[in-house]
Chains A and B, each alone.
Chain A
């Protein structure tokens, strides 16, 4: 078991990549806190994990809500006594239509995707500092590395912020024994919040950029997150790990 007895919080754990990360972490022995706004979906993920013998609980969390973060961290500490791993996975899609220059979209993308990650780190760092260890994995995107024609530039900005915030946190908390790394998924199946990028014609064009010529699977991203979260990556901090079928190599 690669995460035996570790306590992990996965934000956005109720669906997609977050659900896959939660299930994989639980199967590797971790106690998993599935944190999400979607209560029913989150409970389902927890039930599924429990039915296969894993340990998980659900906690309602809007990652932009500072007070909720405090409640979640306090609750997790009360139940498990520690927080070893935080996966800042929650995020919203950048396929904003019809107005690609919408200011409202920019603010919302930055609020959820970037500020949400900052709040998550800020919320767990004190307890990780106290225990002298911890691993944080932030889900950025290839959109934090390269520009794209089909997403709102606020999405690129928000994911670029996650990428560099990760490096900052890595430098600032390394001496406390805390590692912080980012994972950069490439073209994935459409998200719940995808609009324009869910269009089959657009997706065909998007896939032309991928040397491996296919979309990624949520389990493939989860594998990368597991590696960075685990002690196997004990000398890796501030690193960015693309899981993109070669898109950013091109």
Chain B
């Protein structure tokens, strides 16, 4: 973990969706926004809950970073348009879109209600299409940049969370398609597949027993931290990865390498 920023994103502007956290436990989007800001990036924080957003905003301000926020719903097209306009109007250009928003979705196809299925697809997939639809032209006209989509190892290792698994699989396909479509616009598109991360989202109602199970499910025997996702996002957001596009970067302590215990 880098302790002090060394300006790896100096001069860049990012939109980070799902940048809030529900409480004191840090979220993946929050960690990413904090790290981007620490590395010199100006960040527009986006979330549907103002209270959650303000926690992240305060942390960035406290560490001397530059950020502003927008309360909106990324599954709503108008909000996505406004979000991108705000970033460009505030900071003059846009280089990075970090699509972190997502919701869980459990059950089999037999169990799941069609309405719930649609909701998961709207929040996890359609949102990334909508944010990208408005962000990509701005990133391209800013001289290029990157889009980072958060998928999940659930996409490649299903286990009873079928709507979630399918939505995260779609994120991988969307990432590759966007990478191919927009390479000529100098927009790189990659995704991250987090494993068992102890975060603002996953910690809700998690018993110590379940937490321990998640820890030992990885060959490394440890759970991940949102900072692990943030570090991967930083690499993909920075110019260090300027020839990297269309990839799925797995950050899971090796969980997806092994055949499951059955």
Minimum Cβ distance to chain A for residue B119 (Å): 28
Q: Is B211 an interface residue (CB 8 A)?
A: no
**In the complex, what residues of B have CB within 8 A of residue A231's CB?**
1
Say yes or no: A237 contacts B219, CB within 8 Å.
yes
Say yes or no: B245 contacts A212, CB within 8 Å.
yes
Minimum Cβ distance to chain B for residue A200 (Å): 21
CA distance A226 to B8 in the complex (A): 14
Say yes or no: B1 contacts A232, CB within 8 Å.
yes
**In the complex, what residues of B have CB within 8 A of residue A233's CB?**
231-232
Per-residue CB proximity of B244-257 to A under 8 Å, as 1/0?
A: 11110111111011
Which listed segment binds B: A51-59, A60-68, A100-108, A242-250? A242-250
Which residues B229-247 have CB closer than 8 A to chain A?
A: 231-232, 234-235, 240-247
Interface centre among A233, A236, A242, A244 (most CB of B within 10 A): A236
CA distance A223 to B242 in the complex (A): 10
Say yes or no: A171 contacts B257, CB within 8 Å.
yes
Which listed segment binds A: B20-28, B103-111, B176-184? B176-184
Which residues A172-207 have CB closer than 8 A to chain B?
A: 174-175, 177, 179, 186
Minimum Cβ distance to chain A for residue B95 (Å): 17
CB closest chain-B residue, reference A178: B220
- Total number of B residues with any Cβ neighbor in A under 8 Å: 39
Q: Is B221 an interface residue (CB 8 A)?
A: yes
**In the complex, what residues of A have CB within 8 A of residue B219's CB?**
170-171, 174-175, 237-238
**In the complex, what residues of B have CB within 8 A of residue A177's CB?**
220
Which residue of B184, B224, B240, B256 contacts A213 across the interface (Cβ within 8 Å)?
Answer: B184
Q: Is B81 an interface residue (CB 8 A)?
A: no
Say yes or no: B1 contacts A223, CB within 8 Å.
no
Say yes or no: A217 contacts B249, CB within 8 Å.
no
Per-residue CB proximity of B183-227 to A under 8 Å, as 1/0?
A: 110001000000100000000000000000000001111101100
CA distance A248 to B247 in the complex (A): 8
29 pairs across A/B with beta carbons < 8 Å? A171-B219, A171-B257, A171-B258, A174-B218, A174-B221, A175-B219, A175-B220, A211-B180, A212-B183, A220-B240, A220-B244, A223-B240, A224-B235, A224-B240, A227-B231, A232-B2, A235-B253, A236-B252, A236-B253, A237-B257, A241-B247, A242-B246, A243-B241, A243-B243, A245-B183, A245-B245, A246-B179, A246-B183, A246-B188
